């Protein structure tokens, strides 16, 4: 049962000790971070986007994740901080002219150089393979190396010329310390945006409830709007102006169209007018006729002579 033929077993072959911890190959890890999507584990292809923590994704994978957030996807935890498409930025990447990809590997016998990257820094020319630190700007999405930022200090993007601040610079695939710093910035940025939205709501409500200019109300009838003080003053003035008129009318007549009780009727004959004026009225002596001059009773009319 073994050990025949002069074989001598060693101790590690007979005694099983603790298993050694498997170390992750750094080159393989760098290739996975810089050439594959963090969410779908597929090769990066344009359009490529990056989140606020500096991780790379395919844009279509992010859209699919936002549409279907199922708990079965284990890789969904890496993108749990992405709430909408606004939380990612589309990157402007510069192609590496020395990278051939699978064009020359038709037979499958060509050596793949892992240090060769698809994209480079447009300012310095460093390859984006993980050996050098790269960053992008949230305002425009341009990607360049960290060395370019340090060597050419400016407040404007080196590629497109857009103005940026220190908070807009995000390191791609940074260390744990970088990720913690970016996470703290992300939370502060979202908190400021939320407070800004809450501050805008009461202002909008006040502008609706207190309009500055009086507008005509829609409908067939138009209501004249004005200050209550002005309307009360106008009504008082109207009452004051109407009061003396009514007093003057009331002094001459007690009722409309009727004389007062104290006035007496006077005949025109007793008046001091001239005889020519008095002769115009039927009460004058010239208008009175005797029975002989008057007409027959059938045809008699008081106004026919």
User: Of all residues in the chain, what percent are helix, strand and coil, respectively (each to 5)?
Assistant: 35, 10, 55
Sign of torsion over alpha carbons 54, 55, 59, 64: negative
Mean pLDDT, residues 208-213 taken together: 58
Query: What's the full length of the chain, in residues?
Result: 305
- Which of 74-78, 108-112, 246-250 comes out lowest in average pLDDT? 246-250
Percent of the chain whose pLDDT exceeds 90: 24
pLDDT classification of 10: cutoffs 50, 70, 90: confident
Domain ranges of the chain: 26-99+115-199
Residues whose CB falls within 8 Å of the CB of residue 75, separated by 6 or more in sequence, listed in order: 38, 39, 40, 41
> Quick one: pLDDT at residue 248?
46
The whole-number pLDDT of residue 220 equals 46
User: Which range has highest mean pLDDT (79-93, 270-284, 288-302)?
Assistant: 79-93
88 Cα distance to chain centroid? 20
Cβ neighbors of 96 (< 8 A, separation 6 or more) are 116, 117, 118, 119, 120, 127
Half-sphere exposure of 5 (CA within 13 A, CB side): 4
Torsion, CA 292, CA 293, CA 297, CA 302, rounded to 10: -150
Q: How far is Cα of residue 127 from the mean position of the Cα atoms in its chain?
A: 41
Task: Give the ranges where the chain is alpha helix by DSSP (H).
Answer: 11-14, 26-35, 59-67, 146-151, 176-209, 228-252, 275-278
% pLDDT > 70, the chain: 62
Torsion of CA 183, 186, 192, 195, to 10 degrees: -80
In angstroms, rounded to a whole number, what is the distance separating the alpha carbons of residues 191 and 197?
10
d(CA 35, CA 33): 6
- Give the model's confidence band at 109: pLDDT under 50 very low, under 70 low, under 90 confident, else very high: low
Which residues, including other chains, have CB under 8 Å from residue 167's CB and lie 6 or more apart? 185, 189
- Model confidence at 91: pLDDT above 90: yes
| DSSP per position, 116-131 | --SEE-TTT--B-SSS
pLDDT for the residue 180: 93
Q: Report the Cα 204 to chain-centroid distance in Å.
A: 11
The whole-angstrom separation of Cα 172 and Cα 26 is: 17
- The distance of Cα 224 from the centroid of its chain, to the nearest Å, equals 34
Cα–Cα distance between 199 and 192 in angstroms, integer?
Answer: 11
Q: How far is CA 167 from the centre of its chain?
A: 24
* Tokens 């060597």 found at: 151
217 pLDDT above the threshold of 60: no
Q: Say whether pLDDT at 258 is over 80.
A: no
Q: Note whether 91 and 141 are within 8 A (CB).
A: yes
pLDDT score, position 131? 87
Per-residue pLDDT of 111-138, as tens digits, reads 666 677 889 999 988 999 888 999 999 9
> Are residues 37 and 57 in contact, defined by beta-carbon separation less than 8 angstroms?
yes
Residue 229 pLDDT exceeds 80:
no
The token pair that represents 47 in the structure block:
């359009």
As beta bridge partners, residue 58 has 48
User: pLDDT tens digit string along 167-182?
Assistant: 899 999 999 999 999 9
Please give the pLDDT value at position 236: 55
Q: What is the model's pTM?
A: 0.57
Q: What is the pLDDT of residues 24-75, one digit of tens each?
A: 777 778 888 898 999 888 999 999 999 999 999 999 999 998 888 665 555 6
What one-character DSSP code corresponds to residue 52?
A: T
């Amino acid at each position: 049962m073994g050990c025949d033929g002069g074989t001598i077993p060693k101790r590690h072959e007979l005694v099983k000790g603790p298993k050694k911890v498997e170390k992750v190959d750094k080159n393989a890890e760098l290739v996975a971070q810089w050439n594959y999507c963090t969410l779908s584990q597929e090769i990066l292809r344009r359009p490529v986007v990056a989140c606020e923590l500096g991780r790379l994704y395919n844009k279509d994978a992010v859209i699919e994740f936002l549409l279907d957030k199922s708990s079965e996807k284990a890789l969904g935890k890496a993108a749990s901080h992405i709430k909408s498409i606004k939380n990612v930025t589309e990157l402007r990447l510069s192609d590496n002219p020395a990278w051939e990809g699978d064009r020359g590997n038709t037979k499958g016998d060509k050596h793949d150089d892992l240090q060769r990257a698809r994209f480079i820094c447009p300012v310095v020319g460093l390859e984006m393979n993980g050996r050098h630190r790269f960053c992008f700007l949230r305002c425009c999405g341009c990607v360049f190396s960290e060395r370019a930022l340090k060597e050419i200090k400016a407040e404007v993007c080196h590629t497109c010329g857009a103005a940026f601040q220190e908070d807009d610079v995000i390191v791609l695939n940074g260390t744990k310390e970088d990720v913690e710093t970016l996470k703290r910035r992300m939370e502060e940025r979202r908190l400021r945006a939320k407070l800004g939205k809450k501050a805008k709501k009461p202002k909008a409500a006040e502008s609706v409830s207190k309009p500055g200019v009086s507008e005509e109300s829609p409908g067939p009838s138009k209501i004249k709007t004005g200050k209550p003080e002005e309307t009360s003053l106008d009504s008082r003035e109207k009452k004051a102006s109407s009061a003396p008129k009514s007093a003057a009318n009331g002094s001459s007549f007690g009722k409309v169209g009727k004389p007062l009780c104290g006035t007496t009727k006077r005949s025109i004959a007793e008046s001091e007018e001239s005889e020519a004026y008095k002769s115009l009225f039927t009460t004058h002596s010239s208008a009175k006729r005797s029975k002989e001059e008057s007409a027959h009773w059938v045809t008699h009319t008081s106004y026919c002579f």
